[in-house]
Amino acid sequence: MRGESISELIDKKLMNEEPVFGITAEDLLQEYFVTTNPESAEQRLTSNLIITLLGLENKGIYKNAVFGLPALCVLGKGGMDLDCYVNAYWPEYARYGVPDFQGKKVVIPQRYQRLIQFYVELDMADVIIRDGKVDVTAAQGEADYAIDIVVTGKTCKEQKLGIFPPVLFLSDGVLLGNCGAKRLINKTNRRNNYDILSIAKRNA
């Protein structure tokens, strides 16, 4: 299934006796929290759901991630060069900072629409929602800024887009499990010293 659907699937099967595990991205889980009622959804899920960060920083597909993990960033012309950002001292960041979006065109991806609006005040901005090519839209001058996930930063460098600190959100992989999965883990842990990911693999 698509990563966007995993959190909702686990939520629907939250109280099932049958163990259900899912792996998704932390940003997509947070998007689900803020898309549904942020208070009740997060409270309901986190109280019953197994949420284990997978610790993927600079590992596997994120080996070349500029921030170690996918990072939600404000991008635009005149922002700080990505390489400079990673290597700069903190006082350097003060010259940039999150810009004033009032009256500006800000392009954001549809899949992170509510997550972005949760982290960034965009009420006074002209928000453009796109299904893809968010950074290219900004680079071509159709928008003043883009807010999107940066992994390797390759497109940003190609399009000559800089970052306006700070990074808004770092997204690790997450393992989710319903109540049946929690009971299975508790039962298995009494017999063996397995970690959650091992148990999920054995029962996939």
Task: For residue 23, give both structure tokens.
Answer: 């792996």
In this predicted structure, what is the pLDDT of residue 185? 79
Residue range 27-55: mean pLDDT, rounded: 79
Tell how far CA 194 is from the center of its chain: 28
pLDDT, tens digit, for every residue of 83-135?
A: 877 776 555 666 666 788 999 999 999 988 988 988 888 999 999 999 878 98
Distance CA 198, CA 202 (A): 6
Domain coordinates in residue numbering, the chain: 3-55+172-202, 61-170
pLDDT, tens digit, for every residue of 174-199?
A: 999 888 888 887 777 655 554 555 64
Residues in CB range of 80: below 8 A, 6 or more apart: 88, 92, 93, 96, 162, 163, 164, 165
In this predicted structure, what is the pLDDT of residue 188? 72
Contact (CB, 8 A) for 6 and 22: yes
CATH number of 61-170: 3.40.190.10
In this predicted structure, what is the pLDDT of residue 128? 93
pLDDT, tens digit, for every residue of 124-180?
A: 999 999 987 898 888 889 999 999 999 999 989 898 999 998 888 899 999 998 888
In this predicted structure, what is the pLDDT of residue 194? 47
pLDDT, tens digit, for every residue of 62-78?
A: 999 999 999 999 999 88
Query: What pTM, to 2 d.p., does this model score?
Result: 0.80
In this predicted structure, what is the pLDDT of residue 204? 47
Centre a 10 Å sphere on the Cβ of residue 97 and count the other Cβ atoms it contains: 12
- CA proximity to 110, closest of 31, 47, 202: 31
